[in-house]
Chain A
Amino acid sequence: ILNVEQSPQSLHVQEGDSTNFTCSFPSSNFYALHWYRWETAKSPEALFVMTLNGDEKKKGRISATLNTKEGYSYLYIKGSQPEDSATYLCALLAPSGSRLTFGEGTQLTVNP
């Protein structure tokens, strides 16, 4: 059983603050790491798929880094806006399988 952990579980920030959260995974069982954003009453939306150690990806104010040797990925949001409020999920794809194993998510609330 793969163990994907996300921290913190929840986070409240003020509009304009920058924030970051962590996804950790077993480095010995890595093929790819996915990040998804899930807003209430909507579908989870893909943010990034990362495969290479040292990868950095950016989409607007959101960016992510990947360290496969130590088994973690950081997601950063610069200048948070209320519309960034959502649950951010990371998911690991192991070399042996076709399924994604998800963490429990970080629930972000951005207060105006």
Chain B
Amino acid sequence: GAGVSQSPRYKVAKRGQDVALRCDPISGHVSLFWYQQALGQGPEFLTYFQNEAQLDKSGLPSDRFFAERPEGSVSTLKIQRTQQEDSAVYLCASSFSSGANVLTFGAGSRLTVL
């Protein structure tokens, strides 16, 4: 597609529910990043894929967070047993080459946990 597509744009979950957020990067983009942006903060790194390989997951805040990119294109960020502190905008970004060259971002998925 022309840009990075994320779905859903908005998600309201009850505490304890599992959620899955999807990212469709630009076709052919090798690198894919997930960031979490809490209100009033800058985006915080969660995880990085190069093709299907998850090269860095050091930013995932707990073992409730899991990300995958099984075929090196679409990626899913899953959050199990959501907590209120998981409320944030989750941004996905991709780039053509490896490493963090210019990133093309999606519009984000805003998660609200009640």
A99 pairs with B48, CB closer than 8 A:
yes
B42–chain A nearest beta-carbon distance, Å? 4
Please tell me if B21 contacts chain A, counting CB pairs below 8 Å: no
A102 contacts across to B, CB distance below 8 A? 35, 42-44
Q: How many residues of A contact B (CB 8 A)?
A: 24
| Across-interface contacts of B100 in A (CB, < 8 A) | 32, 34, 93, 97-100
Q: Are B108 and A43 in contact (CB under 8 A)?
A: yes
CB distance A105 to B42 under 8 Å? yes
Which of chain A's residues have a CB closer than 8 A to the CB of B90? Answer: none
Among B3, B59, B101, B107, point to the contact of A99 (Cβ < 8 A).
B59
A44 within 8 A of B: yes
Q: Does B41 contact A (CB under 8 A)?
A: yes
A7 at the interface (CB under 8 A from B): no
Q: How far is the CA of A41 from the CA of B108 in the complex (A)?
A: 9
B41 touches A100 (CB 8 A): no
Dominant secondary structure at the A interface:
strand
- Residues A94-109 near B (CB distance < 8 A): 97-105
Separation of A98 and B49 alpha carbons in the complex (Å): 10
Given A46-B103, A46-B104, the answer on whether A98 and B56 have CB atoms closer than 8 Å is yes
A69-112, CB < 8 A from B: 89, 91, 93, 97-105
Q: Name B4's contact: one of A43, A93, A104, A105 (CB within 8 Å).
A: A43
CA of A46 to CA of B41, assembled, Å: 18
Report yes or no: A104 in contact with B103, Cβ–Cβ below 8 A.
Answer: no
Rounded to whole angstroms, the CA-CA distance of A49 and B96 in the bound complex is: 15
Given that A98-B56, A103-B42, A104-B40 are known contacts, is A43 also in contact with B107, CB under 8 Å in the complex? Answer: yes
* Chain B residues positioned under 8 Å from A44 (CB to CB): 43, 91, 93, 103, 105
CA of A97 to CA of B98, assembled, Å: 11
State A101–B44 Cα separation when bound (angstroms). 7
Taking a contact as CB atoms under 8 Å apart, the answer to whether B41 and A104 are in contact is yes
Say yes or no: is A59 at the interface (Cβ < 8 Å to chain B): no
Considering only CB atoms, which chain A residue lies closest to B44 in the complex?
A102
Binding site for B on A (CB under 8 A): 4, 6, 32, 34, 36, 41-46, 49, 89, 91, 93, 97-105
